[in-house]
Chain A
């Protein structure tokens, strides 16, 4: 087990057994199924997810709106939201490839929303934020112990909203409203239209649009989630799942026993862990180089390194 994949108790390839849910999910529907199960079982009493403008319009009190997204909420802008039902979870399924500050709701979830057991999904950096606020709760009174299930999603990079706008509307020549799904996989950025059209862009086109803060990120597979998941390593429609913490182990075992997922051994699927490891190493070594370059960025002066 190399350090690039973090600590984990088990790794499997899995997908949800709920066919309706799978239609709305990005990959194997792991995140949505896990939260739906955890809600049912009382393991969590709400979850912080990245919802859509339709959800925000119906539930203005359950979302964290962005100043720039207030008056005319834009399509494909993720809106951090607190959801309490399976239907709401499904409405928030799917990957939005731009920034969703999910951790901004973590304290409020335990305050005006009154949650005692919070679920949260987030990118690896957001899992780092969660663990930092549990160990060093500077501005998170009584929050740490209320985090009942943190699900991390793999992440190579994220994008500002305007980048996605430019990629979809200028490069892929599609309207944002007409997009059904976006995906990064097999070395390409894919845009699927609601009418069935598919456009693929090579990643060399997307690189310059990436969020700069991602270039110092040293985690690909959400090493600090209770459970983390992504598409890489598993066949289409399936997800690779790392079960990491004691909490994760217990929730995963219960969800398996309840029949939420079908699984295959990760050793048996293609391309398997080899590809995950390769991509994790590529990301980490590239970004370590960026950190090194930052140290000598100016003349006798450098840029900050956040890691101590």
Chain B
């Protein structure tokens, strides 16, 4: 028990898809909880729901700034967590909640939603709508290694998490346009097709092998840009893919 990291899960304006993605690790989730993670609070999967002091908190959903409780919760999460992870497109970038114009029952005045990074400092992003069970699993294992591992494991975890920390530093907006402005317009796109495959709403097609975004379809989740090998790419980490994949699988055996 003593060697586990303490983890919390704050659920703001998210559709529970992130929660389901976490749970979709099935046996992997049980192993995580068994060996590495002491889940202190979480609305759906733990008894305790209220925010507590933890090593790592995962936050699902954006913050409705018209909802006093949500604003208090995100602030409290920051104050009580050593590491805050924005989980999923809504927490990272606002995603589909950016399209809210209010008017929904039974809180019609709840209309303005912000990604959590607009209100607090966020340490790590796990983008994706929904985020994938495997990326959640990888980050959870790496967070454990970062806090409890040997010197070597800490180095690996730092290198692995670095791009996801840089993503958190980079900003709180996402769109297909990121590929245009930061990859294609910068002369970096080589037409691999990762972005089109990553898009959850199939908003990306190709024009002479290069991605073209159907901007009306885009829900602003940030999956395409973060999946693109020309947005960020670490040779140190990715060249070691075989050993890292094996280490993660072994940790969950």
Say whether B238 contacts A99, CB under 8 Å.
no
Say whether A136 contacts B163, CB under 8 Å.
yes
Q: How far is the CA of A66 from the CA of B234 in the complex (A)?
A: 30
Contacts of B212 in A (CB 8 A): 67
Identify the interface centre among A100, A132, A160: most chain B CB within 10 Å of its CB: A132
6 further A-B contacts with Cβ under 8 Å, apart from A68-B206, A99-B191, A128-B238, are A66-B207, A98-B209, A103-B197, A126-B193, A138-B222, A139-B132
Q: How far is the CA of A214 from the CA of B209 in the complex (A)?
A: 14
A134 on the interface (CB 8 Å rule)? Answer: yes
Say whether A101 contacts B241, CB under 8 Å.
no
Residue-wise interface mask of B (207-243) relative to A, using a CB-CB cutoff of 8 A (1 in contact, 0 not): 1111110000000001110111111111101110110
Say whether A67 contacts B238, CB under 8 Å.
no
Say whether B192 contacts A126, CB under 8 Å.
yes
CB within 8 Å for A135 and B238 given contacts A103-B197, A161-B209: yes
Closest chain A residue to B126, Cβ basis: A138
Contacts of A158 in B (CB 8 A): 190-191
CB within 8 Å for A99 and B210 given contacts A135-B244, A213-B189, A213-B190: yes
Contacts of A103 in B (CB 8 A): 192-194, 197
Contacts of B244 in A (CB 8 A): 135
CB within 8 Å for A139 and B227 given contacts A99-B209, A308-B163: yes
Range for the number of chain B residues in contact with chain A: 35 or more
Q: How far is the CA of A142 from the CA of B130 in the complex (A)?
A: 12
Say whether A306 contacts B198, CB under 8 Å.
no
Q: How far is the CA of A198 from the CA of B47 in the complex (A)?
A: 75
Min distance, Cβ B251 to any Cβ of chain A, angstroms: 14
Contacts of A211 in B (CB 8 A): 190-191
A272 on the interface (CB 8 Å rule)? Answer: no
Say whether A303 contacts B132, CB under 8 Å.
no
Residue-wise interface mask of B (46-63) relative to A, using a CB-CB cutoff of 8 A (1 in contact, 0 not): 000000000000000000
CB within 8 Å for A308 and B205 given contacts A135-B241, A136-B163, A139-B227: no
B16 on the interface (CB 8 Å rule)? Answer: no
Say whether B231 contacts A306, CB under 8 Å.
yes
Looking at chain B's contact residues, the main secondary structure is mixed
Contacts of A246 in B (CB 8 A): 242
A-B contact pairs, 30 of them (CB 8 A): A64-B193, A67-B212, A80-B193, A100-B191, A103-B197, A104-B196, A107-B197, A122-B192, A129-B192, A129-B194, A129-B229, A135-B245, A136-B135, A136-B138, A136-B227, A137-B135, A139-B128, A139-B200, A139-B224, A139-B227, A142-B132, A145-B134, A162-B208, A211-B190, A217-B190, A223-B239, A224-B239, A224-B241, A306-B230, A306-B232
Min distance, Cβ A250 to any Cβ of chain B, angstroms: 13
A72 on the interface (CB 8 Å rule)? Answer: no
Range for the number of chain A residues in contact with chain B: 35 or more
Say whether A141 contacts B133, CB under 8 Å.
yes
Closest chain A residue to B125, Cβ basis: A138
Contacts of B131 in A (CB 8 A): 138
A237 on the interface (CB 8 Å rule)? Answer: no
Stretch from B37-45, B96-104, B110-118, B180-188 at the A interface = B180-188
Question: What is B's interface to A at a CB cutoff of 8 Å?
Answer: 21, 127-128, 130-135, 138, 160, 162-164, 166, 182-183, 186-194, 196-200, 205-212, 222-224, 226-235, 237-239, 241-242, 244-245
Say whether B208 contacts A133, CB under 8 Å.
no
Identify the interface centre among A66, A104, A213, A245: most chain B CB within 10 Å of its CB: A104
Contacts of A129 in B (CB 8 A): 192-194, 228-229
* A202-224, CB < 8 A from B: 211-218, 223-224
CB within 8 Å for A101 and B206 given contacts A132-B227, A306-B231: yes
Contacts of B134 in A (CB 8 A): 137, 141-142, 144-145
Say whether A138 contacts B135, CB under 8 Å.
yes
Say whether A100 contacts B227, CB under 8 Å.
no
Residue-wise interface mask of A (145-184) relative to B, using a CB-CB cutoff of 8 A (1 in contact, 0 not): 1000000000000101110000000000000000000000
Min distance, Cβ B35 to any Cβ of chain A, angstroms: 21
